[in-house]
Amino acid sequence: MSIARSVAEQLERASWIRRMFEEGARLKAERGADKVFDFTLGNPDVDPPPEVLATLARLAAEHPPQIHAYMPNPGFPAARQAVARHLAAKTGLPFTQDHILMTVGSAGACNTFLRSVLDPGDEVIVLAPWFSEYPFYIQNHAGRMVVVETDDQFLPDPARIAAAITPRTKAILLNTPNNPTGRVYPAEVLRGIDALLRSLDHPVTVVSDEPYTPIVFDGRTHPEVVTLIERTVIANSWSKTFAIPGERIGYLAISPRLPEAAALFNACAFSNRVLGFVNAPALWQRVVTETIGVQPDISRYQHRRDRMCAALTRLGYEFIQPEGTFYLFPKSPLPDDVAFIRLLLEDGVLAVPGSGFGRPGYFRLSLTVPESVIEGSIPGFARAIERRFPF
């Protein structure tokens, strides 16, 4: 039996993140783990907050009735009510449980929404650089990805977005704080997108992919996209907030300001089931119901950002200092970012080329690593930038 042509084509351009992660595993087996400095995967290395672990242990020990049973397709009412109260307090919008669906992570939320609104050939605008899985999410549901470049500061340009909109445009995927750049989109930029969408003669909805919203640095407050852009749905998860990406717990929130909110909720509840996700993990729905207000300690991420930025600046690398997330997106010293990644590999430093995020000429570093990895990698970064000149 042959595999589908579409999957074969996707495998050819599959995620650079995973590809480099696998290369790292090979190098560690070859050279020893202490000689490999792996910045590829955004896999939090900190522990979940103590309150979350304590709640998990208590609920597992108590074993409430029906804890492992099916529940309504959108999730437990108590969990949806907790998310709705949390969002209403943050945004001032009248969220209720009928605007919330519990999902298998933010990825599940994005796919549930796209499955619910896309007909074959409908278009989804994605801003470059983008999260590397977005093209596959759109193709999953027979959509067409339309790429719009951000400006030289990695910020959205409403005029460029306007030029890309056609009668087939259904959605815009927005990710702030942004993976891979670490940029936090300012309120005035978001208001510009809202003004654009209000001027259109057909509805276009922003999907605000928000797993990094609690991870912002230097005392910043992250603007609430759903309050600034009327036509918004939120895809979110606790993967980064609680450092539990393997648990796959998140939600889709439909803005109460969407006139079609009730119909969209019903469509997403159906899609959540037929996509095979069925329900978000039952035990974790109960955990987040009780711990939704817990904030992560981001001090280690900020310390790593500061240490890495100081080292790379001293060596001559160029980048915009991240305002959030745990990523750094420097400019490649070589025009060919893949060639530069190979230079880093010679010294056991693993990074992901910007080509994997739709922005060649850059590379991404994930700072979910021990400080010893940062310190050990600095000689490799120094040698790689020195060796660029023969190219």
- CATH for 354: 3.90.1150.10
Do 99 and 253 form a contact (C-beta atoms < 8 A)? yes
Pairing, β 363-366 against β 327-328: antiparallel
- Domain hosting 201: range is 65-291
Beta-bridge mates of residue 60: none
pLDDT of 7 > 70? The answer is: no
pLDDT digits (tens, 9 = 90+) for 30-47: 777 778 899 998 889 899
Q: How confident is the model at residue 389 (pLDDT cuts 50, 70, 90)?
A: low
Give 5's contacts (C-beta < 8 A, 6+ positions apart).
none
114 shares a domain with 43: no
218 shares a domain with 123: yes
* The pLDDT of residue 274: 94
pLDDT digits (tens, 9 = 90+) for 64-96: 888 888 899 999 999 999 999 999 999 999 999
Do 143 and 114 form a contact (C-beta atoms < 8 A)? yes
279 shares a domain with 219: yes
48-54 mean pLDDT:
96
> Which of 264, 291, 318 represents a domain boundary (last residue)?
291
How many structural domains does the chain have?
Answer: 2
- pTM score, whole prediction: 0.94
DSSP of 119-144, one letter per residue? PTT-EEEEEES--TTHHHHHHHTT-E
* The pLDDT of residue 391: 46
* The pLDDT of residue 195: 98
| Alpha helix positions (H), the chain | 5-12, 16-31, 50-62, 77-91, 105-117, 134-140, 158-164, 187-199, 225-228, 261-274, 282-291, 299-315, 337-346, 371-386
Range scoring the smallest mean pLDDT among 22-36, 114-128, 130-144, 148-162: 22-36
15 shares a domain with 115: no
55 found inside a domain: no
Q: How confident is the model at residue 26 (pLDDT cuts 50, 70, 90)?
A: confident
Q: Is 262 helix (H, G, I), strand (E, B) or coil?
A: helix
Q: H or E stretch including 323?
A: none
> Which of 291, 319, 344 represents a domain boundary (last residue)?
291
391 found inside a domain: no
304 shares a domain with 287: no
371 shares a domain with 235: no
pLDDT digits (tens, 9 = 90+) for 336-377: 999 999 999 999 999 999 999 999 999 999 999 999 999 999
231 found inside a domain: yes
335 found inside a domain: yes
Rg (CA), the chain: 21
Range scoring the smallest mean pLDDT among 7-16, 137-146, 222-231: 7-16
- Name the average pLDDT for the chain: 93
309 shares a domain with 276: no
58 found inside a domain: no
247 found inside a domain: yes
pLDDT digits (tens, 9 = 90+) for 192-204: 999 999 999 999 9
Preceding peptide of 129 cis, ω within 30° = yes
* The pLDDT of residue 34: 79
pLDDT digits (tens, 9 = 90+) for 8-18: 666 565 666 66
Backbone angles phi, psi at 127, to 5 degrees: -90, 130
pLDDT digits (tens, 9 = 90+) for 281-296: 999 999 999 999 999 9
* The pLDDT of residue 270: 96
102 shares a domain with 250: yes
Do 206 and 231 form a contact (C-beta atoms < 8 A)? yes
- CATH for 121: 3.40.640.10
163-179 mean pLDDT:
98
29 shares a domain with 78: no
* The pLDDT of residue 2: 66
60 found inside a domain: no
DSSP of 303-315, one letter per residue? HHHHHHHHHHHHH
10-27 mean pLDDT:
68
221 shares a domain with 114: yes
> Which of 224, 256, 291 represents a domain boundary (last residue)?
291
Preceding peptide of 94 cis, ω within 30° = no
183 found inside a domain: yes
Q: H or E stretch including 146?
A: strand 144-149
243-266 mean pLDDT:
97
128 shares a domain with 69: yes
Q: How confident is the model at residue 63 (pLDDT cuts 50, 70, 90)?
A: confident
Pairing, β 349-350 against β 327-328: unpaired
Calculate what percentage of the chain has a pLDDT beyond 70.
Answer: 95
262 shares a domain with 122: yes
